[in-house]
Amino acid sequence: MNYSVEALSRLKTERAVVLYIVDVTDFSGSLLDLNELIGTHNPVILGLSKCDLLPKGFSSNRIIEWTKKELAGHGLNKIFDVHVLNNEKGFGTKEMLDQAYGLAKKGDCDVFVIGSTNAGKSSFINSLLWWGWGRSKLPKPRWRNMLTEGLIPNTTLTPIPVATGDGLTLWEMPGVALPDNINSMLDLEEIRHATARKRLLTCGFRFEAGKSLLFGALGRIDFLEGPAVLANWFCSNGVKVHYRKTEGVEDYIYEKAGTQFLYPPTDFDEDFDKRWEWDEDEVVIKGNTWSEAVCDVGIAGLGWMSFTIDGEIRVRVVRPKNVRIYKRPPLLPYEAVYGVAKYSGTRWHNNYKARYAAAEKRIQHNRLQHGHRDYEGRFPDFEKTRLRKWRGFIQ
């Protein structure tokens, strides 16, 4: 970490345009203290990477507004702009570079790409190389000329210059390792499970007092007291999520950690309880609506839960020692629209979500075939029926 911080410190005195890449699937766990690392005199453009891994149907504009509010809450008020990125399809990458190009030409300086480890910096630059630079007319490169991408932290050890063909040099800087992110404590195989590489898993369920939700064997959220709520969990599809009674949960974790029932960790270890030390914090959550989530509670690098609630509850978050937890406004407040699932002990079942998806597809088809009349006429009734089902299930 010291080397990456030292490499970034040059930006405190050097004129530059900074492209700051943040992993949207672990936003609160990968956020850097930019004011401390690079100062405040250079323009910073923020790119939200891995947006293609969010659940379908999210609003880009709402994600951008949410990001700006979160940045302001962390004292990062001088962010020049925020972009939603899809590196796989090149969405947002050229627009972000065009903006940086204009600022760099105006200030006669280079562009630097920064972020935490595994935030997607190399993927972002490779997306630019593959899909084109916007203003320049570079041919698509061969794969051997692309930057190295991988889950291994610190694949970028020194600043890497990339020429754009327009007299502008783009520098990829070494990623900053965050000691309060759970990935800093995992081996490579465990990082592969904890880091999102496909679309995030999410599921809505009825969360009640005396129950616990386990993110593998490395973190859990216990419901201590309060009325039953509608909760949604979000995590990598490599994390085994388990729902059970809080009573006896620690014995269950020690028995099943590293097996097919509870991972990561990926290997069964009889000394599991000796490898990890644990911290726990209690969080109070208040809300007054069933129409949208009121907050997210999560563990840096592992996953989070959103809560839709009318009342007040108290939960306990347990995670490895020194790993940060966070409470924030909900990133995806309307995922409860897909209803609730039942847990069989090994799998989550949400038949209503499948029916909703089929109805949504049918509505969109009618909208295209018959204009807005059918869409405007049927969808509100469908929404009202859905709301009645939520409230009946919760109450």
Orientation angle between helical segments 372-394 and 351-370, nearest 10 degrees:
160
Buried b (16+ CB within 10 A) or exposed e, 193-208: bbbbeeebbbbbbbbe
State the residue for tokens 């900074």: 18
Q: What is the mean pLDDT of residues 82-96?
A: 86
Q: How far is CA 73 from CA 28, 229, 337, 345, in A?
A: 12, 27, 28, 39
**Residue 35: partners with Cβ closer than 8 Å, 6 or more residues away:** 75, 76
Segment 338-387, tens digit of pLDDT = 666 767 666 776 665 555 566 666 666 666 665 544 433 444 444 445 44
Q: Phi/psi of residue 278, each to 5°?
A: -120, 145
Span 2-172: which CATH code? 3.40.50.300
134 three-class SS? coil
Give 255's strand partners. Answer: none
pLDDT band at 125 (very low <50, low <70, confident <90, very high): confident
Strands 219-225 and 211-215: antiparallel
Segment 26-84, tens digit of pLDDT = 999 989 999 999 998 999 999 999 999 998 878 899 999 999 999 999 988 889 999 99
Please tell me the distance from the alpha carbon of residue 295 to that of residue 305, in angstroms, as a whole number. Answer: 8
Please tell me the distance from the alpha carbon of residue 88 to that of residue 226, in angstroms, as a whole number. Answer: 43
The tokens for 252 are 């269950």
- Domain ranges in the chain are 2-172, 199-349, 352-394
CB of 216 within 8 A of CB of 193?
yes
- Return the ∠ at Cα 144 (arms to 143 and 146), rounded to 5°: 65
Give 17's strand partners. Answer: 111
Lowest mean pLDDT among 77-91, 127-141, 156-170, 300-314: 127-141
Half-sphere exposure (CA, 13 Å, Cβ side) for 55? 18
